Amino acid sequence: MGLIRGASKDCAIILSGQRIENGPLRFEDEFVRHKVLDLIGDLALAGRRIQGRVVAERAGHAMHTALVQRLMRDRSAWELAHGYNEVRSRRLRWGICGLPL
Active site residue 61: yes
2: left (phi over 0), alpha (psi -120 to 50) or beta: left
Please tell me what DSSP assigns to residue 80: P
Other C-beta atoms closer than 10 Å to the C-beta of 51 total 9
The tally of CA atoms less than 13 A away on the side-chain side of residue 11 is 5
Cβ burial, residue 42 (10 Å; 0-12/13-18/19+)? buried
Catalytic position from the list 34, 61, 64, 82 = 61
- Residues classed as catalytic: 61
